[in-house]
Chains A and B, each alone.
Chain A
Amino acid sequence: MKAPPFAYAAPVTIEGALALLAAHEDAKVLAGGQSLMPALNLRLAAPSVLVDINDIPELSEVSVTPAGLRLGALVRHSRIGSDPLIAGAVPLLGLAYPHIAHGAIRTRGTIGGSLAHADPSAEWPAVCLVCDAVMELRGPGGGREVPADAFSLGVFTTAIGAGELLVAIRFPAWPASRRAGFSEVARRKGDFAMVGAAVTVDLGAHGVCTAARIVLFGASDRPIRRHAAEARLCGRVPDAALLREVASVATEGLDPSSDLHASAEYRRRVAPVMVRRALAYALSLPEAARAA
């Protein structure tokens, strides 16, 4: 199908975009368009105004400082995959990148667009949650910051309020001792995950785990931290048996939904495998996938 009629504006400043959002209540922000354009073409969305933010140079800025990595909301997937500065600063971005869409989608799609769209099966929201990223929002009343764990509120729902624009994502500095892992299953490489896991593990003296973060995505209405499983890892030296235990704890009480792509039962069955694989990758341990 074709997009319904709308009026279009392409401001060149953040202030210009905010003024348009303030003036048009049902305006939609057009970033990379890789989710909004399908929604328009399928007539799932029919805004009266599209505010195209692609001409705002500030939104494509990337900076690495001792405090960490800051990505403008309009930084495209392809740049995350091709700029060694980005994956160097936050290695988990580099690990997740090969799972993000296909070439032609990566050219246009943006990290901010993926976060604002909030598909529960998307990779970037999960990566942001693992990394304790902070979302910088700008709105009519000025700027505010929302931590990743308060940003995703449900299926296609975020903390972005009326008239607000996601302008950047900040990732805290990555400690040298931190290791990362990422694993997902999808129908086709590059498709949204049916279920997946993103993890980080910090190792101290003698290989003892000092901190861990485990996030599942595609398993709930938003990416979810698994605190009990993280606690199970801490203070111990991870081995294959411990990873099996942690993977089992990580998926206790999981209540995924069934959809076109996978049944709830399948997601429940595969989720612990994803956790184990991601942890095994992070820790360079054998996968131990058969022993479940």
Chain B
Amino acid sequence: MTPTESLFITLTVNGEAVSREVAARLSLADFLREELRLTGTHLGCEHGVCGACTVLMDNEPVRACLMLAVQARGRSVTTVEGLTPPAGGLTPLQAAFQRRHAVQCGFCTPGMLMSATALLAGNPDPTAEHVRDALSSNICRCTGYVQIVEAVMEAAAEART
């Protein structure tokens, strides 16, 4: 096997098959943003600390800045754009973020939504502590987290009724 500086990859992004020749060094985050123009995935720190680039890979949260695009070959990636229901509009979680005003500058919001989506998929009835624990991986520098936690709790409660 000879190492190569670029590879042809095929993966699924937001339900659609995508094929591209990409540089080995290209991060999954830059692939999504630059190649696919899915700029909802934000890049903050680019070393895995801030969580703004969190996406789902095979339904599990990952840092898109800490994966190479070539490592996502054959996988299914969901970005914040992929949360949109088939009929359009917002998911219950997104609607709860809007109602609770769980955004301020909005930069961290895509990552927050992806981490919270992953949390609720695995635990539909989280306590506030569960939510805080799950979102401790995502840094917000303006809202102070209170409304974000409230929004996730509200979306969870709504889904159970």
Note all chain A residues with C-beta closer than 8 A to B7.
8
Contact of A5 (CB < 8 Å), options: B25, B48, B65, B133:
B25
Q: Tell me the nearest residue of chain B to A4, going by C-beta.
A: B25
Q: What is the CA–CA distance of A14 and B73 in the complex, to the nearest angstrom?
A: 20
Q: Assess the B136–A189 pair: CB atoms within 8 A.
A: yes
Whether B38 sits at the interface, judged by CB under 8 Å, is: no
Whether A41 sits at the interface, judged by CB under 8 Å, is: yes
Contact of B66 (CB < 8 Å), options: A16, A51, A78, A108:
A108
Q: Assess the B48–A103 pair: CB atoms within 8 A.
A: no
Given known contacts A104-B137, A108-B62, is B68 in contact with A8 (CB within 8 Å)? yes
The winner among B3, B48, B119 for most chain A CB atoms within 10 A is B3
Given known contacts A102-B137, A188-B136, is B67 in contact with A33 (CB within 8 Å)? yes
Contact count band on A:
35 or more
Whether B46 sits at the interface, judged by CB under 8 Å, is: yes
Note all chain A residues with C-beta closer than 8 A to B79.
none
Q: Assess the B115–A103 pair: CB atoms within 8 A.
A: yes
Q: Assess the B115–A42 pair: CB atoms within 8 A.
A: no
Whether B16 sits at the interface, judged by CB under 8 Å, is: no
Whether B24 sits at the interface, judged by CB under 8 Å, is: yes
Q: Assess the A50–B24 pair: CB atoms within 8 A.
A: yes
Whether B161 sits at the interface, judged by CB under 8 Å, is: no
Q: What is the CA–CA distance of A114 and B61 in the complex, to the nearest angstrom?
A: 19
Note all chain A residues with C-beta closer than 8 A to B48.
34, 37-38, 105
Q: Assess the B67–A37 pair: CB atoms within 8 A.
A: yes
Whether A173 sits at the interface, judged by CB under 8 Å, is: no
Given known contacts A50-B24, A103-B118, A188-B136, is B5 in contact with A5 (CB within 8 Å)? yes
Given known contacts A1-B46, A7-B4, A41-B27, is B61 in contact with A104 (CB within 8 Å)? yes
Contacts from B to A (Cβ < 8 Å): 1-5, 7, 23-25, 27, 30, 46-48, 51, 54, 57, 60-63, 65-68, 70-71, 115, 118-119, 133-134, 136-137
13 A-B contact pairs sorted by A residue (CB < 8 Å): A3-B27, A5-B5, A6-B24, A8-B24, A9-B2, A37-B65, A38-B48, A38-B66, A41-B65, A52-B68, A104-B61, A105-B137, A190-B136
Other 6 A-B pairs with CB < 8 A, given A20-B1, A33-B71, A78-B60: A7-B24, A9-B2, A52-B68, A103-B118, A104-B54, A188-B136
